[in-house]
Structures are given as C-alpha cells and as structure tokens.
Chains A and B, each alone.
Chain A
Amino acid sequence: MKRELNINHLTRVEGHGAVNIVIENDKLREIKLRFTEGPRFFEYITRERLYNEIPKIVSRICGICYVSHRLSSIAAIEDAFDVKVTEEIDLLRKLLIVGEYLESHALHLYFLALPDYMGYPSALAMAKDYPNVVKRGFHIKEVGNRIMKLIGGKTVHGENILAGGFKSVPTKEQLQKIQDELYKVIPEIKATVSLFDSFHYPQYNEKPPFSLCINSEKFSILGNELILSDGTLFTKKEYEIFIEEKTSSYSTAKYSTIKGKPFLIGPLARVNHYVDTLRSETKEVLRNLKTKFPSENILHSNLARAVEMLELALEGVEICQKLIEAYPFEGEVEVKPKAGTGYGIKEAPRGLLFHKYTFDENGRCTSANIITPTAQLQAIIEENLGTLVERSKDAENEDLKKKAEMLIRAYDP
C-alpha cells in the first residue's frame, strides 16, 4: 500500500518550503524537503563590487537575520584587510547581536511556534484569548528592534553597520535608556522561559549524528573556531573543508553534511554545548525547569531560544554599562583595502553562518562563498522527518502533517 503525504506550502516559516513523503508497505520510500525559494545569486551579485558595498548587499539575504549576514561579511572583510577594531566597536556589535536575537527569537517563539503549542492558527488569532501573552511577544521583539534601530539606523537593514565600525554611535543617554529597557524586559524573558518549559514536547527525532557551534570559553555568538560534538576542532578557514555541499535536484537550498552525516546547528546545539558556562542568573532559572539540557529533543530548540534570550539580555545590560563607562569613544577605524581572502563566521539565530570573499588590490570582490544555516539544516531536517514518519506510521495524515510542521518549525529554516 502506497501512501503519500504532501505539504505544499509550509506556513509560519520564513521563505517557501514544501515536503513530500512517500510511504510504501509501511516503509518510508522517499522524503524530500524542498525549498522552492527563488535563488538570489548573492555570490554573483557581490562580484566586481567594492568591499564597502558588500555588507549592504548581503544584508538582503535575510530580513530577520540581516545583522548576522552583515557582521559575518564584515568579519570577512576585516580579516582580508587585516583591520583591528577597538573594544568599543566590538561591544557595540555585540549589543547589536543582543537586539537581533531578541527580535528574531521573540518573533519565532511567539509568532511562528507558540500557536502550535496553544492550538491556534496564528498569533493574531491567539491575541483575542491571550492578549497579554501576545503583547509580551510584541514587547520583547520591540526592545530588540529598538536596539537595532539605534545602532544600525533602521530596524531592518540598518546601513550604519559597516566594515571598520559605525559612522555614528549612540549617546550616553541613549545607552542608558537601552540598558533600562533591557533590564525591564528580563522578567518577561524569564516568563517566556517558564512558558516554553511548561509545554509537553514529544520526542520526534533520534539523537543528531553531530552538532556544531562556535567554540569559546563562554557562550558566544562570534568567534574564529568551531567545535563538532565529537570533539573535533577546526578554524573558520577550514570550514569549507569540513562542510561538504551538494546541489540537490529538488531544492534550491544546497545539501550539506559533515563527515558524510547530517549535523545539528542553532539554538539547541549552542545551549547544549554552553549549558555549564552560562551566567549564574541563567543557570538559576535553568535549575528550576522540568526540561534539562543537554537535550536531544529538537522541539526543545524553542526553550533553548528563550534561554538564549535571557543570557543575551543579561549580557546586554553589562555591555551597556561598559560602553557608558567608556563614553565618549570613537566608533570607527580606518579600512585600507588590499588583495587577499577573508573569512567570517557567526552564529545566526537559526545556526552557523559562513562568509568568504576574495578581493583584488582595489578592494573589489572577485569571488564569494556564503554558506547559510538553511542550507546546512536541510539534511538534518530530512533525517528527522524520516524518523518521525517511521515512528508514527499509524498516525492519520492530518496529524502527521501537523507533527512534521512542528518539527520543521523548531528549526526555523
């Protein structure tokens, strides 16, 4: 007996995706996760452009995680030209990341994921019965947006985020205000953590073959080195050696594996790796949860997102303090182009991101390679979907569809 399950339009995910599953005589025959998103040729439209056009162009890869694309490309440019930025520029970038994560994670948790767990088709529909919960989501997101607007100039695609730093920096008063807002949003984030801990998360997947994140002593979104869950360490320059990329015949996202196997990246990989090095205030909150990290259940990615928001909001308060104490400071260092290749990696909210550019002596880009989280997630999501189908062969189509969507959404591909 042959059974086919097709989800033609995944909703509440960014981009355009579809899933086809074929089951024959109770055996899984075929599973295809297709991203049908039109290609946008970023590795090609950056060519022949001057280095200072690049952060602006690649920003447009993703409207939700544009800060990640900008900062990875900036890291690559500064790597190629041997630019060293000041501590304050570094702190401002980290504050920007706090804004990005609050915005992106709150959007994901409250608007894309929560309706599944509360039984609604959308957050807007949920707003009638639970106005305060939805308002909380809006509020956390708003704080993130305000930080990005203040530092970058706009909430989406702020043009002040450049190689060498920032054309202008926030005033002391503005930093104080942001610090205050971050401080006030912390209880709401803690409430988010406990809300996402309260749900029942069935285990749909097996343990991922590998997971991968940036390696550092403490929880870190930026860095130069990576760690694979089997202990293998490698540098950003070696990324392309470890990640094997193939084009797929059915998806416009490339298919990536590591040592021949799918691998996990993103919030769950990060929280699993860093759980013992988090701030004591975050650990305190974690101690009281029924969910324990490290966890192998991909649905716990949602809780991991809430935990990351807490850790980063706490860090944000500290960053503001340091910047206020350092005030006034310069926001920019000089960038002098030269021929060469540079690499940049960053943890985007949904997982690792890699940018690489080669420049000629005038600083014009001659080639580019970008490896997005979505491309790296395709393989592991397919593997998880396979397990889910194997485990729930008796489930009705509608039920299976719903589970498949929840699983895919947990990755936020």
Chain B
Amino acid sequence: MVKIGIMGLTGCSGCQCEILNCEDAIYKLLGRVEFSYFPLAQDNNSFEEFDVLFVEGSVTTDLDEEKVKKGREISKILVAVGSCACYGGVQSQRNDEVSLEEMIKGVYGTTELPVKISKPRAVSEVVKVDYELPGCPLDKRQFVYAVAFLLNGVKPFFPKIPVCHECKLSETECLTLKGIPCQGPISFSGCGAPCTSQGVGCQGCRGDCDFPNYNEMVSILERNGLKREDAFKFIKVFRGKQAQDRISKLFRGDLDEKGA
C-alpha cells in the first residue's frame, strides 16, 4: 500500500475539499493507497512516514513550520497543493506593502498573539518541494493525474502554458478584446478556463505561466480601464512572492511614485 498524507497549514481547506470531491477516483484508489494522515477527514492518523505527502496552505505560524519540516523529513515525495502552498496565497498579497506588525495590529488590535507568526510564506521557502499543483483551489483532475503518475513511477508534469491556450481550445471569445480585464496571458493553464468561459476574466489563481510578460499585461489592463496601481494589485492577489519579485524589478520607478 502506498502511504499518502494530506496536511493542512494556514489555508482555507478549499484544496482539501477539492481532494474530497474526487469521489470516484478516491474510491478506485482505496485499493492501492492508504490515507494514513488526513485529519480533516479521519481520526486514525499516523504521522510517521509517507510515500507522498500533500501539503495545503502557507507557512504562517511556528506550528506550520514545525509540521512541514517534520513532514519533509518523513516523506519520500512532498507535493505543495494550492496557491497558498505554492506561492503564499491570498494572505501573502500585501507582504511587500506593509509590515507584519501592522497587519497583526490592524486585525487584532494587539501584537500579543497565542502563536508565533511570520509573514505567510510558500512551502518551498521553508523546505524542499518536489512538485507543485497550484490553483485556488488546486485542479482536481490534476490531483488525480498526479497521484496516478506517482503510483506508476512517472514524474507529474504539466506544461506551464498560458490560460489563453485553453480559451482557444474551448473556442471562448476573448474577453480582453471586449475590454474585460483578464490575466489569462500570464497565467498557468490547466484549469480548463472555467472563469473566462463564463465571461469573467482570469484572476490568475494558478500563478505565472512560463515567461510571463508582465509589462505587456499591465499595459493591456490599463487599456481595459484599470489604473496602473490597481493593475499591480490585481496581478498580485494569488501570486505571492512570484509577482512581488517581478513587479518590484520591472516597475521600480512606478512603485516609488505610487506606493502600490
């Protein structure tokens, strides 16, 4: 039996819910894999060794850090699932704008909290990560494929082509051409573009595709009615450090002026 663990750090459990939503696949897998750790769903958890450990959520507290380090030690393969685990997620979108103290004070009115907190970090900023399945939440087909690949000793690989590609496949009319802000050109596909096919611009929940052209993306967003600083914020929502690094490098001048 292949031992699988599903661990939640600081997140919303949405990725774990999507994993539970892989109902049929879970049923079929039950013969070959054993969920030896899945506290959201079961009592009988053992935290001793894993063939594959899936980690949801960002590293935000000292407990998160302890758990993920221990998890790394006892796992052959560690997979970060969801944009919180892969990039830091929504909770990290202002990491570059304000200090941790300010955020804690702003929410709790005090800095005395029962847990030790750091700015939300991606799992890969703390331990070595073997594979990443981003998305907010992760895509459940990709989860099932990844498990199936790993069970058969194949490396899970998903090409980082832009979401626009998915629109072409599903013959969705391009929203950018209609003036609707869409991050598809710089976002990692694999979701089947459920947003654009409903007329909602891609929000970039899966992070960057390979070679994302931020410069051009920002000017397109500006043409579609966003102020430059709002375009930066729009791009930053899910991408955590990924976007913060790129934006600070590419647009340093703007940032000094506008303080975005």
* A162: Cβ under 8 A from any B Cβ: yes
Say whether A41 contacts B21, CB under 8 Å.
Answer: no
* B170: Cβ under 8 A from any A Cβ: no
Say whether B43 contacts A11, CB under 8 Å.
Answer: yes
* B250: Cβ under 8 A from any A Cβ: no
Say whether A157 contacts B205, CB under 8 Å.
Answer: yes
Encoded as 1 (CB less than 8 Å from any B CB) or 0, chain A from 3 to 31 comes to 00000010111111000000000000000
15 more contacts with CB within 8 A, not counting A45-B94, A50-B233, A157-B205, are: A11-B43, A15-B13, A39-B113, A41-B94, A41-B107, A56-B237, A63-B11, A66-B14, A111-B41, A127-B30, A154-B194, A156-B17, A156-B137, A157-B136, A247-B109
Chain B residues closer than 8 Å to A47, beta-carbon distance: 94, 106
* A195: Cβ under 8 A from any B Cβ: no
Q: Which residue of A lies closest to B106 (CB)?
A: A44
Say whether A34 contacts B114, CB under 8 Å.
Answer: yes
Chain A residues closer than 8 Å to B199, beta-carbon distance: 160, 167-168
Encoded as 1 (CB less than 8 Å from any B CB) or 0, chain A from 149 to 187 comes to 100011111111010000110000000000000000000
Say whether B230 contacts A50, CB under 8 Å.
Answer: yes
* B126: Cβ under 8 A from any A Cβ: no
Say whether A122 contacts B136, CB under 8 Å.
Answer: no
Say whether A122 contacts B115, CB under 8 Å.
Answer: no
Chain B residues closer than 8 Å to A122, beta-carbon distance: 38, 41-44
Which of B8, B109, B117, B199 has the most CB atoms of chain A within a 10 A radius of its CB?
Answer: B199
Interface hits, B108-130 → A, CB 8 Å: 108-110, 112-115, 117, 120
Cα distance A57–B117 in the bound complex, in angstroms: 21
Say whether B21 contacts A44, CB under 8 Å.
Answer: no
Which of B43, B89, B110, B230 is within 8 Å of A247, CB to CB? B110
* A83: Cβ under 8 A from any B Cβ: no
Which of B13, B45, B197 has the most CB atoms of chain A within a 10 A radius of its CB?
Answer: B13
Which of B56-64, B70-78, B144-152, B157-165 participates in binding chain A? B56-64
Encoded as 1 (CB less than 8 Å from any A CB) or 0, chain B from 46 to 67 comes to 0000000000011011011000
Chain A residues closer than 8 Å to B198, beta-carbon distance: 153, 159-160, 167-168
Chain A residues closer than 8 Å to B41, beta-carbon distance: 12, 111-112, 122-124
* A248: Cβ under 8 A from any B Cβ: yes
Chain B residues closer than 8 Å to A40, beta-carbon distance: 10, 12, 60, 90-91, 120
- A111-B41, A154-B194 known; A64 vs B10 contact (CB < 8 Å): no
Chain A residues closer than 8 Å to B97, beta-carbon distance: 48
Number of A-B contacts (CB under 8 A): 187
A-B contact pairs, 8 of them (CB 8 A): A11-B43, A12-B41, A41-B107, A57-B237, A107-B17, A124-B41, A155-B18, A250-B114
* A392: Cβ under 8 A from any B Cβ: no
- A39-B104, A124-B30 known; A159 vs B114 contact (CB < 8 Å): no
**Interface footprint category on A:** 35 or more
Chain A residues closer than 8 Å to B203, beta-carbon distance: 56, 159
* A227: Cβ under 8 A from any B Cβ: no
Shortest CB-to-CB span from A90 to chain B, Å, is 19
Encoded as 1 (CB less than 8 Å from any A CB) or 0, chain B from 220 to 247 comes to 0000000000100110010000000000
Cα distance A97–B16 in the bound complex, in angstroms: 21
Cα distance A9–B7 in the bound complex, in angstroms: 12
* B35: Cβ under 8 A from any A Cβ: yes
Cα distance A375–B61 in the bound complex, in angstroms: 19
Cα distance A160–B110 in the bound complex, in angstroms: 36
* A142: Cβ under 8 A from any B Cβ: yes
Cα distance A65–B242 in the bound complex, in angstroms: 28
Q: Which residue of B lies closest to A35 (CB)?
A: B114
* A38: Cβ under 8 A from any B Cβ: yes
Chain A residues closer than 8 Å to B187, beta-carbon distance: none
- A44-B94, A107-B20 known; A160 vs B195 contact (CB < 8 Å): yes
Say whether B43 contacts A115, CB under 8 Å.
Answer: yes
Chain A residues closer than 8 Å to B120, beta-carbon distance: 38, 40
- A38-B64, A159-B203 known; A60 vs B230 contact (CB < 8 Å): no
Chain B residues closer than 8 Å to A125, beta-carbon distance: 42, 44
Chain A residues closer than 8 Å to B136, beta-carbon distance: 60, 157
Chain A residues closer than 8 Å to B94, beta-carbon distance: 41, 44-45, 47
Say whether A156 contacts B18, CB under 8 Å.
Answer: yes
Which of B21, B108, B233 is within 8 Å of A39, CB to CB? B108
Q: Which residue of A lies closest to B97 (CB)?
A: A48
* A203: Cβ under 8 A from any B Cβ: no
Q: Which residue of B lies closest to A145 (CB)?
A: B21
- A12-B43, A63-B137, A124-B35 known; A45 vs B90 contact (CB < 8 Å): yes
Say whether B113 contacts A252, CB under 8 Å.
Answer: yes
Which of A11, A142, A159, A250 is within 8 Å of B23, CB to CB? A142
Chain A residues closer than 8 Å to B108, beta-carbon distance: 39, 247, 254
Shortest CB-to-CB span from B160 to chain A, Å, is 20
Shortest CB-to-CB span from A357 to chain B, Å, is 14
Cα distance A53–B90 in the bound complex, in angstroms: 11
Shortest CB-to-CB span from B10 to chain A, Å, is 3
Cα distance A176–B60 in the bound complex, in angstroms: 45
Which of A9, A53, A157, A250 is within 8 Å of B233, CB to CB? A53
Say whether A121 contacts B43, CB under 8 Å.
Answer: yes
Say whether A36 contacts B115, CB under 8 Å.
Answer: yes
Which of A39, A60, A167 is within 8 Å of B14, CB to CB? A60
Say whether B60 contacts A63, CB under 8 Å.
Answer: no
Say whether A36 contacts B61, CB under 8 Å.
Answer: yes
